[in-house]
Structure 1
Amino acid sequence: MNILHKAAFTLLASAALACGVAQAAQAAPVKNIVLVHGAFVTGAGWKPVYDILSKDGYHVSVAEHPLTSFADDVTAVKRIVDAQDGPTILVGHSYGGAIITDVGNAPQVKGLVYIAAHALDQGETEAGNGKLYPNATKAVKKTADGFLYLDPAAYPADFAADLPKAQAAFEAQSQALTNSSVFTTPAGAPAWKTKPSWYAVAKADRIINPDLERLYAQRAHSHTIEVDGASHSVYESHPKEVAALIEQAALHAEDGQ
């Protein structure tokens, strides 16, 4: 091999190595995951998913937000996202989906995962979309000062039908009451229009109509799974499927797939 051939070979090898390094860096999974709960519950319900993701090596944070107003909740979740040390996957359940749709515009958020969640477009409200695709529950109650909760007698069947009865009964009696205004606050610019998303449809959901969930997933071009027999508490009752979807997002968000 003469000098010119050696130089050309070295150049090609260097380029190939650089390309390989770039591809490896591009394919590296996102390690930070922030889990966001929905209305009527706290972050404690994420523990089964948290345990799986933590065991698999992810740095997982559970954002607790006060359910006092949409602005308060966005601020609380953004505070946790800002504390992450790098690229982050943002996961929202139910009303938490509206929150991550807003907070997901932060530059460190690389992908969004919706778990039986609202993925609102600009100007939409959860209440408005719920009228277009009515849910099956009649259990919503309102306090004198405008906070909502579910009738504890109906909560197990409507929110948590696939959880153990004792667990569902406890959750019914330990609800986090939610300011009704969060369901009528118009959404801003949605992060799912510029960032990749994943979606889990709960096929037996009585709180959000599964057809509304499908609409959200389709228009966001989300990578979608449908979980048979899953209630609105799908993140608790099917943690393996939910964690697997989140890990797909972590593996592929950086390459835009």
Structure 2
Amino acid sequence: MGTTDAIQNVVLVHGAFADGSGWRRVWEALTSRGLRVTIAQIPLTSFEDDVAATRRVLDRIGGPAILVGHSWGGTVITEAGNHPNVSGLVYVSALVPDSGESSGQQYEGFAPTPEFVIDIGDDGFGFLNAEKFKIGFADDLSDADAAFLRDAQVPVNMAAFSAPLSHAAWHDKPSWAVIATEDNAFDQAMLQHMATRAGAQITNVSGSHALFISQAEVVSDVIATAAQNAPVPVA
């Protein structure tokens, strides 16, 4: 059910080791098209905390939205996407677990990614290895841009990756996926498998794990397409 009107709200959720500032180019591209874009700053302290932070943003917008997640943000939107204000989901080289699954389970049976190295502290929080950061996360960005992301890292509580979902929102809501074909954070087969299982409309683009920066226009085009095509709830 729905109307012919397009969704006007977009909520962007960043992934692990990053914050919402990386969405700047996507924000600019979407707001220039007249969309209202909000960036959820998730704390990366636990799965529950990250979902709660996203839901707070969804509560505030007061209308239907497209919910977008990059990397770990994909897991977050898969749970937070059950919020009644969410009409569609967009996964950006993201984790897409199913109901009852954890993020960590998504790696089972797929090839390792040796360039994506996480250094884990005694407190259980992880940073990406500084020497491997560019090749693992941002290989198609300039040295300066990659260095800024490296030095602005937000550590993630590694325990979050073992938390199971209660219900995967993609079972009930349409989804789209943008997958970077040179992503060194996830095995390509793993990304394709997760997105296909969710029934997502997939766009493949040449890019690194930081495609939300390097391929901001492509990512924005897919989000705009989702906003045009996701069902608008009837008031």
Q: TM-score, normalised by structure 2?
A: 0.95
- Local SS of the residue matching 2:61: coil
Q: How much has 1:187 moved relative to structure 2?
A: 1.6
Q: Distance in 1 between matches of 2:202 and 2:96?
A: 13
Counterpart check, 1:163 vs 2:141 = yes
Q: CA deviation at 1:144?
A: 1.1
Task: List structure 1 segments (4+ residues) > 2 angstroms apart after TM superposition.
Answer: none
- 1:73 and 2:73 correspond: no
CA drift at 1:210: 1.6
Q: Which residue of 1 aligns with 2:166?
A: 188
Identity, in percent, stands at: 38
Q: CA deviation at 1:255?
A: 6.8
Q: Does 1:35 align with 2:9?
A: no
**SS in structure 2 of the partner of residue 26 of structure 1:** coil
2:225 matched to which residue of 1? 248
Contact 1:101–1:120, Cα closer than 8 Å, also in 2: yes
String of CA shifts for 1:132-183, please: whole Å, max 9, x gaps.
2234235111011000111111100110000111110121121100000111
Shift in Å, 1:61: 0.1
Structure 2: distance between partners of 1:138 and 1:48: 24
Q: Partners in 1 of 2:182 and 2:86 — Cα distance?
A: 30
Of residues 124, 128, 150 in structure 2, which corresponds to 1:172?
150
- 1:194-235 alpha-carbon deviations (Å, 9 max, x no partner): 10000011111111212111111111111110002x110011
Compare CA radii of gyration and give the structure with the larger one. Answer: 1
- Structure 2 alignment gaps of length 5 or more: none
Corresponding residue for residue 69 of structure 2: 92
User: How far apart in 2 are the matches of 1:72 and 1:138?
Assistant: 25
Aligned to 1:129, what secondary structure does the other structure show? Answer: helix
Select between 90-99 and 132-141 the one with higher mean Cα deviation: 132-141
User: Match of 1:27, SS?
Assistant: coil
Structure with the greater relative contact order (CA < 8 A, sep ≥ 6): 1 or 2? 2
What is residue 126 of structure 1 aligned with on the other side?
A: 103
CA RMSD in angstroms, aligned pairs only = 1.5
Q: Is residue 2:211 matched to residue 1:234?
A: yes
C-alpha distance in structure 1 between counterparts of 2:116 and 2:216, whole Å: 27
Structure number having the greater helix percentage: 1
**One-letter amino acid matched to 1:76:** A
Question: Aligned-pair distance for 1:126?
Answer: 1.8
